[in-house]
A and B are shown apart, each in its own frame.
Chain A
Amino acid sequence: MLKNLYDFKKDLNRRGVFFCFSGPVSQELLVEIGATLKQKMRLEETRNSTALRVFSMVVEQAQNIIHYSAEKCPKDNDNPPTENAEELSIGIIAVGYEDQHYFVLCGNRIRNQDIGRLRERLVNLQKMGKDELKKFYKQERRKGPSPGSRGAGLGFIDMAKKASKPIEFDFRKIDGNFSFFSSKTVI
């Protein structure tokens, strides 16, 4: 890895990625990542509203990892998380710039049994235009979260609304229990 580190960095840069984190994600880390990204974009004179959108995607994605990643520390934590149990969620977040647009990549482990529902939800969002997304967002917000959701269940709709392109996603099978879920949002 020592000899490959520079190649790894060059590879990220070649793909437009200027920020990448892989490992345990916490709320405190999210705040620091957000602050540093905002500082970078300010120094590069990115429009305020664009910087705020990038920041909001990073927050939603990082909090998705925190709430839903099926890869945890400590490892053998196989039970559904309880409110007070201390644990860390593991995932990967990358932020980049290509074709005049910022993008946010996010990945985490997911249980195979949860893929169907998530895929259906994301495919559904991909088909919606701006007005439909707005309507759907308001309707879901009124309805309140579905069982099993740890936030308001609005994260992906919010991202789809703020994104300039439909959210892309991918599931890669790891073993009989888990897959790796990746998504890309373009601002």
Chain B
Amino acid sequence: MENLKLEATRYTPAISFDCERHVLEINGESYPENIAEFYAPVFSWVEEYLEQLEDQEVMVNMELIYFNSSSSKILLDFFELLEDASSNGKRITVSWIYEEEDEDTQEFGEEFQEDFESLKFNLVQKNS
């Protein structure tokens, strides 16, 4: 399969999913008007990737400066896919990266962390 690379726009994040290095990165802001349209190809890529993944270690780096409430639902769906894969023995680590004084993004990270059991979910504070 091929890597997925989408450039950031003013209201969609950069997507950089690398199936050779096993690094998946989402970076930027997410508040599109039509959320399903933007994320559909992202989800199909991840589903296909998890299907063919063996025992390689996968790093998922999430660095979102801002996301709206419908993106928050999409993120939950995304982490649920990863949680299911983790329960089936896949080795996945999520890093939730936030700026030092951004309490809201930190809190969102903590809330996601509470929601998952098998998935390794780390909170990473960036020093600005």
- Identify the A interface with B (CB < 8 A): 27, 31, 35, 47-49, 52-53, 55-56, 59-60, 63, 66, 83, 134, 137-138, 141-142, 144-145, 151-152, 154-155, 157-158, 162
Contacts and interface: CB of A to CB of B under 8 A. Distances in A.
Contacts of A155: 68-70
A48 B104 CA distance: 11
Majority secondary structure, A binding face:
helix
Contacts of A48: 99, 101-102
A126 B46 CA distance: 39
21 contacts: A48-B99, A49-B104, A53-B104, A56-B66, A56-B68, A59-B66, A60-B68, A63-B31, A63-B70, A137-B111, A141-B72, A144-B73, A151-B35, A152-B69, A152-B74, A154-B69, A154-B70, A155-B70, A158-B68, A158-B69, A158-B72
A166 B85 CA distance: 40
Given A66-B33, A138-B111, A151 B102 contact: no
A52 B29 CA distance: 11
- Interface pairs A-B: 3 shortest CB-CB: A152-B73, A154-B69, A151-B70
Contacts of B35: 151-152
Interface string B98-121: 010111100000010001000000
A141 B73 contact: yes
Interface in B69-90: 69-70, 72-74, 76
Interface string B29-68: 0011111000000000000000000000000000001101
B104 A56 contact: yes
B102 A152 contact: no
Interface residues of B, number: 23
A53 B99 CA distance: 14
A138 B32 contact: no
Nearest to B36: A83
Contacts of B33: 27, 63, 66
A145 to B, nearest CB: 8
Task: Among B68, B103, B115, find the residue whose CB has the most chain A CB atoms closer than 10 A.
Answer: B68
Contacts of B11: 27, 31
A63 B68 contact: yes
Task: Among B65, B73, B74, find the residue whose CB has the most chain A CB atoms closer than 10 A.
Answer: B73
Contacts of A56: 66, 68, 104
B73 A154 contact: yes
Given A63-B31, A154-B73, A52 B111 contact: no
Nearest to B11: A31
A138 B35 CA distance: 19
B99 to A, nearest CB: 7
